[in-house]
Amino acid sequence: MQLTETQKKFLRREAHALKPVVAVGDKGITQALLDEVDGAIEHHELIKVRVRAGDREHRDAAINAIVDGCRAVLVSRIGNVAALYRPRKKKPRIVLPAT
């Protein structure tokens, strides 16, 4: 899924007040974590994930693994928190601007 800059900007504004709903801990990316993120993103459409990793490369790799594993779009990443978006399969709640 590709988003325009206008759509990403809209989603960043929407995600600003959100708290992280999933935290990646010492065990890293597991199937259970991906299932949890998948369920949260299916319910909320737009979520924040906190990734606690030693350095930037590990953090970026973990975020990319979550994005790929959940078929989501990375809206923003600030420090160790990433905002992810994926519309619901049935009745999406968030209506994106046209362009």
Q: Which residues partner with 83 through β-bridges?
A: 48, 76
* β-strands 20-24, 46-51 pairing: parallel
Show the domain range for 55: 5-85
Q: Decide: pTM greater than 0.95.
A: no
Residue 97 lies in a domain: no
Q: What's the CATH number where 16 sits?
A: 3.30.110.60
For residue 25, name the pLDDT band (cuts at 50, 70, 90). confident
Percent pLDDT > 90 in the chain is 79
pLDDT at 55: 84
Chain-wide mean pLDDT for the chain?
A: 92
The residue count of the chain comes to: 99
What is the C-alpha separation between 85 and 11, in angstroms, rounded?
8
For the chain, what is the domain count?
1
For residue 28, name the pLDDT band (cuts at 50, 70, 90). confident
pLDDT tens digits, residue range 59-80? 999 999 999 999 999 999 999 9
